[in-house]
A and B are shown apart, each in its own frame.
Chain A
Amino acid sequence: MTIPAVVSATDLSLTFHTSDGPVTALSDVTLDIKKGEFVSFIGPSGCGKTTFLRAIADLERPTSGSIEVNGQTPGNARKDRAYGYVFQAAALYPWRTIEKNVALPLEIMGYSKALKAERIARTLALVNLEGFEKKYPWQLSGGMQQRASIARALAFDADLLLMDEPFGALDEIVRDHLNSELLKLWKETQKTICFVTHSIPEAVYLSTKIVVMSPRPGRVTDIIESSLPAERPLDIRETPEFLAIAARVREGLRAGHSYEE
C-alpha cells in the first residue's frame, strides 16, 4: 500500500528581488510529504523554511521547479481550501470574539448557521478553549490566543495544517504544554502537519520527519525519519534515542553553515 503524497516538490527554487539584488530563498528543494505525516522544518533564519511553507500555501510563487499540493497547483489547492495556516502570531481580529474569529473562515466559505455552530464548538473543544467563546482576543493570554488561531485553522476541516513557528513567541512552559496538546490533536484528527520551528527539541519531539535546512542559498541538507514511538510523553526527551536524533539534527545544521565569506 502506498501512501499518497500531500505535498510534492521537485527542484523547487524561489528568488526574491530586493533592492540589494536577488536573494535565493530556496534552491532546488525536492521533497515529498505523505498523508498523515508530521513534518518539521528546522534551520537558522534565512534558510527558506517559512518560504517553503508559504510556497505550499500559494502565498509565494516559485521561480522554477514544480510543487503540487494534493496533486494540484498550490493556487488551485488554495482555492479548494486544502489547508489551514497558523501564523507566527495569532493574528486574531480584535473586533471579533473568539467564537467569531473561529467562524471567520466558515463565514467566507458560506457554511450554514447550524454547521458553523457545530464546527465552532468542536474545534474550540479540541484546543481546550470551551468557556472562552464570548471573550475578545485581547482578553486572553498569548498561549490561549495561539490556541484560538489553531482552532480557526482547523474549523473548516482541511486535511493539511501548515504551522509557521506558531509557538515561537511563547515561553517554554506554555510551549511544552502546547506541544503535547498538538501531538494529541494530530493523533485525534489524523491530519498532515507541516511545522516550521527553530527549536531542536520541539522538532524532534513532534515530528515523524525532520527536514533540516540551511541558508544562503536556502536548501535542504538532511531529511531525518524519526524512529521515536507514536506515544510520546514529555519525558521522552531524556531518552538516548531522542538525544541521538537531536544530535543528528544539530550536526545537519552545523554542516549547512558555510563560513567562507
Chain B
Amino acid sequence: MSQLQHYLAIVAWGLSAAALVMGWVSADALPPAWLFVFLLLGTASLVRIAGWFSLWLDGIIAGAGVVAVLVSLPDLSPVPGYYWLALLAAWAFAWLFVERLTRAMASGLVEPGIFGFLVPLIFGVMVLVIWEAVTRGANVPSVILPPPSAIWARIAGSTSTLWADFQQTFLKAVLIGYALGCGLGFAVAILIDRSPFLKRGLLPLGNFVSALPIIGVAPIMVMWFGFDWPSKAAVVVIMTFFPMLVNTVAGLNAAGAMERDLMRTYAAGYWQTLLKLRLPAAAPFIFNALKINSTLALIGAIVAEFFGTPIVGMGFRISTEVGRMNVDMVWAEIAVAALAGSAFYGVVVLVERATTFWHPSVRSA
C-alpha cells in the first residue's frame, strides 16, 4: 500500500472508531442497526495491520457505509454528531477502495476492461449520497437545494411533462437548429474558401453575428419566427454558425504544403483536392466545432425559451417553476438537460473517434 492509502486507512478506521465510541457514550439507545454494523466493520478494519487485507473488503465496508447512512437517516432526528463521522468514514472507505482499485488496475492485478466502470460509478454514487445525507440530515430548505431523492421522485412523477419539454426543446429546437447552424457554417466556409472576395466580406460578418448577445437576439427571433420552436432553432443557428465557420476555415488550411503540391502534380481539380485531401485533413477541426456546438445548442435553446414560448419546453418550465418555488422541478429539468447534453456530446465523440481514427490525438488514446 502506498503512503496515501496508509493515511486513508488510518483516517477511515479512526472515524469509524470515534463514531462508535460517540454513539455508545452519548446516546440513550444504541445507533440504528445498519449504522452500528458499519461502524463495527470499520473499526474491525484495523486487522489490516496484521498483514493482507483485500481491496474488495474495503469496497464491501464502503458499500455497507453507503447503505447505513441512507437507511438510518429517517430514524435519527435530530441527527447526532456521530452520524456525520459515520458519513465521513463511509466516504473515506470509498476513497480508499477507489485508490486501491486504480492502483491494482494500473499494475494489471485487476482487469480494467471489466472493473474500469467502477471508479466513475463510485465517484458519482458518493457525490449523490453525500448530497442526500447533508440536505436531509441538516434540513437544508428544498428551495436552496433539494435532496437527490426528491428530484428523482419528481422526475419519476412527471415523465410526461418532462418528455413533452424534451421533445419541444431538444428534439425540435436543438437538433434542427444544430443541423442548420453547423450545415450553414460549413457551407459558408467552403464558399469563403473558393473566393477571397467572400473571405473579406463574410468572415467579418460571421464574426459580427457571433458577437450578438443571445439575450438580445432571442426576443427578436420570437418576433420574426413566432412563439414556437422555430424561433429557438434560429437562436441555436446563430450560436452554432460561427464556431463551425471559423473551425472549418482553419481546417481547410490544415493540409500541409507537400500534400497540396502532391495533388497539383496529379493535375487534380479543386473539388478532387477538396474531397480527397483538404476535407479529411480538416476533419479534426470540424469535429471540434461539432463538439463545442453540441453543448452551445442546448444552452441557446433553453435560454431562448425564457423570452416567449408556448407553454411547453425545458427553458419555459425552468423559468415558470422557479417562479412558483417548485425548485425540485427545476432540478429535474436540469438533470434531463445535463443527461441529454452529455449523451449528445458523447455521440459526437464516438463519431469523431470512428472518423478521425488516423489523427495522432485519437491514435494514442
Chain A residues proximal to chain B, CB less than 8 Å? 57-59, 78-79, 81, 83-85, 87-89, 91, 93-95, 104-105, 107-109, 136, 138
Contact = CB atoms under 8 A, between A and B. Distances in A.
A93 B256 CA distance: 10
Nearest to A106: B266
Nearest to A85: B265
Nearest to A59: B261
Interface in B176-207: none
A85 B267 CA distance: 12
Interface in B251-271: 256, 258-259, 261-268
A136 B267 CA distance: 25
A108 B268 contact: yes
Nearest to B283: A95
B142 interface: no
A91 B265 CA distance: 13
Contacts of B276: 93, 104, 107-108
A91 B272 contact: no
A136 B266 CA distance: 22
Interface string B72-104: 000000000000000000000000000000000
Nearest to A87: B258
Interface residues of B, number: 22
Nearest to B363: A138
B267 A89 contact: no
Interface in B272-308: 272, 276-277, 280, 283
B359 interface: yes
B258 A108 contact: no
Interface in B318-365: 356-360, 363
Nearest to B269: A108
A103 to B, nearest CB: 10
The DSSP consensus for interface residues of chain B is: helix
A241 to B, nearest CB: 36
B265 to A, nearest CB: 4
Interface centre among A78, A89, A93, A136, by most chain B C-beta atoms within 10 angstroms, is A93
20 contacts: A59-B261, A59-B265, A78-B265, A79-B267, A81-B266, A85-B262, A87-B258, A87-B261, A87-B262, A91-B259, A91-B262, A94-B358, A95-B356, A95-B358, A104-B266, A105-B266, A107-B276, A108-B267, A136-B358, A138-B360
B284 to A, nearest CB: 11
Contacts of A95: 280, 283, 356-358
Contacts of A81: 266-267
A93 B356 CA distance: 12
Nearest to A81: B267
A81 B262 CA distance: 12
Contact of A57 (B259, B265, B272, B277): B265
Shortest Cβ-Cβ A-B pairs, 3 listed: A94-B358, A95-B358, A85-B265
A87 B262 CA distance: 8
A29 to B, nearest CB: 21
Contacts of A79: 267
Contacts of B267: 78-79, 81, 108
Contacts of B268: 108
Contacts of B261: 59, 85, 87
Given A78-B265, A83-B265, A85-B265, A91 B277 contact: no
Given A87-B258, A136-B358, A93 B280 contact: yes
B280 to A, nearest CB: 5
Contacts of B357: 95
B53 to A, nearest CB: 45
B282 to A, nearest CB: 11
A108 B264 contact: no
